[in-house]
């Protein structure tokens, strides 16, 4: 958990998703690796922006892709979550 962030006071949860077939169409066997690299770059930039704004960022290393697919009423194979990021104000 990010320094100064109370876990009971979640303010923003960003869930990054990917449409695997769309990426695989062009990059075939590299698709999954490219998606994860893109998520890493996005999270790094979120950390930098949040720190500059005085917010408390926290990338999550675990998530529930099945639950997310049910929440957005999507097929897990078409679009799935590939990263989660918490964002809140400092205490």
pLDDT digits (tens, 9 = 90+) for 40-66: 999 999 999 999 999 999 998 787 888
Tell me, what's the pLDDT at 53?
94
Q: Report the alpha-carbon distance of residue 29 to residue 71 in Å, rounded.
A: 29
- pTM flag (> 0.85): no
18-30 residues labelled b (16+ CB within 10 A) or e (exposed): bebeebeeeeeee
Q: Are strands 12-18 and 55-60 parallel, antiparallel or unpaired?
A: unpaired
């Amino acid at each position: 958990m990010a320094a100064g962030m109370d876990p009971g006071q979640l303010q923003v949860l960003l869930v990054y998703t990917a449409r695997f077939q769309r990426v695989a169409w062009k990059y075939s066997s590299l698709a999954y690796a490219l998606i994860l690299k893109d998520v890493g770059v996005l999270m790094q930039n979120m950390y930098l922006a949040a720190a500059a704004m005085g917010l408390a960022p926290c990338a999550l290393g675990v998530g529930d892709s099945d639950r997310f697919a049910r929440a957005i009423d999507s097929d897990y194979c078409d679009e799935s979550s590939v990263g989660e990021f918490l964002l809140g104000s400092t205490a």
